[in-house]
Amino acid sequence: MFRTHTCGELRISDVNKQVKLSGWVQRSRKMGGMTFVDLRDRYGITQLVFNEEIDAELCERANKLGREYVIQIVGTVNERFSKNGNIPTGDIEIIVSELNILNSAITPPFTIEDNTDGGDDIRMKYRYLDLRRNAVRSNLELRHKMTIEVRSYLDKLGFLEVETPVLIGSTPEGARDFVVPSRMNPGQFYALPQSPQTLKQLLMVSGFDRYFQIAKCFRDEDLRADRQPEFTQIDCEMSFVEQEDVIVTFEGMAKHLFKVIRNIELTEPFPRMPWSEAMKLYGSDKPDIRFGMEFVELMDILKGHGFSVFDNAAYIGGICAEGAASYTRKQLDALTEFVKKPQIGAKGMVYARIEADGTVKSSVDKFYTQEVLQQLKEAFGAKPGDLILILSGDDAMKTRKQLCELRLEMGNQLGLRDKNTFACLWVVDFPLFEWSEEEGRLMAMHHPFTSPKPEDIHLLDTDPAAVRANAYDMVINGVEVGGGSIRIHDSQLQNKMFELLGFTPERAQEQFGFLMNAFKFGAPPHGGLAYGLDRWVSLFAGLDSIRDCIAFPKNNSGRDVMLDAPAALDPSQLEELNLIVDIKE
């Protein structure tokens, strides 16, 4: 019997050992009377050698191997004459004595290599082949390592992992639910959980004072790079805590993950920024603070000089891009077109260069004296060689968000968003409510169970829009990797919250009566946080999309092109479910 080895474990110390290897054919090449085959498995690549002079029949069989054939070989480890320093097994090769073809394979639709020739669509269709690539597999290995570390870390702090149901009732507040018809209850539907929010609160009522779950969550929302219809949360809740307790606990987890996953030691407390400051300086509740370029408001300087765009604006603000005064007119025009994209929506952009002699050259020079332009320079603390970019609009919040997109684009162009540099931040003191034009009412910015800041509770009756939430988000490199809040645990306050959100007492009881009734039996103060596992993995792996760290993701249309889902149901299934499909035109 020969010991079975993996393709990545053999080294020069194993020379002369007889071994058995199994895996997939990465590539083969014939050179004279020799055939060389690269055998690949999850652990690496090993070169196999077939020698025509030693065994012509075996060599002939090897010559017929195609890419991705599944084979098993027996052979002897030999020191490699031409070493390959790019792989761990590059010092050795296997002189094959036995070859067993376990399965043949048709030619794959793209190359199973790190630098593949397959586009996104074709790789998603054949995801099981894409997962054979080192670049994708390593993301799932990283994900596995992170979940092990999370479980270990929370276990040591006394957290219990508890599974919660996937079939629950619908909670319309927030994103749209995915719904599941019930065959046994005709005309009624389950919903897939957007998060285990109310369930983990019930666990706190049950006395499970420290809960966590690596939970599947589902939201029927428009997709982008950091969203999928189904995603995974590291979901946590704690009893008898205040905001500081939760922040300290999960900042500790973040530092632990940085240390064990990326070998980065973070010793300083993460900075904390009020939501109002984040919006004022960065136009975002998840600002990327790896670089500066904070907003400067310019109403006092630029308004009232005859330039109607600014004179009629409700907000004028800008950023200073250090050292970018060398931008050409073509580059500036491209930036203008960038901010005018429909998804950003600005009407235009004004720029001002700081020349070598300190004078300011602007695209609106005819409206402003050099004296006013010098005030502009001083407002930014700009130096010769810097470039000031200005946006304006009739809605301050909307314009800040446009300026945020411009700032991030400049950060990209100037190389200020290095994926190996990490800037962590807590954003705190969010508004409790936000106004929905579509609904024509106040909506919960997070969810209806978020507690107001204790010092703001008195404003619920007089100025609810001014009430701050006892909530907190962790932001890393401009990505919200997690967030949470202290929850309402008092029935009376929860009823007040439902009232402000437009719920009738009957509707509140119908949808959330189970939680309200539970509170009457003695609910402890509690709060928690949910980290996005997919976002953490993509952050540590340096990925642009969470799709690449999910085994079987959906595309940007929410489709699984491999399984061809979603799909129409067979009429017999619809009949069983008492459903009739009537698609609106």
Torsion (CA) 499, 505, 506, 511 in degrees, nearest 10 = 60
> Which segments are annotated as binding site for L-aspartate?
173, 219, 446, 487
Burial class from Cβ neighbours inside 10 Å (0-12, 13-18, 19+) for residue 222 reads exposed
Beta bridge partners of 236: 212, 529
pLDDT tens across 228-278, in order?
999 999 999 999 999 999 999 999 999 999 999 999 999 999 999 999 999
Q: How far apart are CA 211 and CA 256, in angstroms?
A: 19
Answer yes or no: are the C-beta atoms of 72 and 41 closer than 8 Å.
Answer: no
Series of mean pLDDT values for 10-residue runs along the chain (585 residues): 83 94 96 94 96 94 96 95 89 96 96 88 94 94 97 98 95 80 94 94 97 96 80 98 97 98 97 97 97 97 95 97 96 97 95 96 94 96 97 96 98 96 97 83 87 94 94 97 95 90 88 90 96 97 92 91 93 92 85
Helix (H) or strand (E) holding 486: strand 479-486
**Which pair of tokens denotes residue 301?**
């300087």
Torsion (CA) 153, 160, 173, 579 in degrees, nearest 10 = 120
> Which segments are annotated as binding site?
173, 219-221, 228, 446, 480, 487, 532-535
Beta bridge partners of 339: none
Answer yes or no: are the C-beta atoms of 92 and 77 closer than 8 Å.
Answer: yes
Tell me how many degrees the CA angle 281-287-289 measures, rounded to the nearest 5.
Answer: 90
Answer yes or no: are the C-beta atoms of 320 and 383 closer than 8 Å.
Answer: no
The interaxial angle of helices 533-541 and 134-156, nearest 10 deg, is: 130
> Which segments are annotated as binding site for ATP?
219-221, 228, 480, 532-535
The structural domains of the chain, ordered by start, are 10-101 (2.40.50.140), 118-239+525-578 (3.30.930.10), 290-412 (3.30.1360.30)
Answer yes or no: are the C-beta atoms of 473 and 427 closer than 8 Å.
Answer: yes
Answer yes or no: are the C-beta atoms of 92 and 12 closer than 8 Å.
Answer: yes
Answer yes or no: are the C-beta atoms of 261 and 248 closer than 8 Å.
Answer: no
Q: How many CB atoms lie within 10 A of CB 247?
A: 21
DSSP readout, 241-264? --HHHHHHHHHHHHHHHHHHHH--
**Which pair of tokens denotes residue 93?**
């090769």
Q: How many CB atoms lie within 10 A of CB 581?
A: 8
**Which pair of tokens denotes residue 84?**
């390959």
pLDDT tens across 289-314, in order?
999 999 999 999 999 999 999 999 99
β-strands 34-41, 18-31 pairing: antiparallel
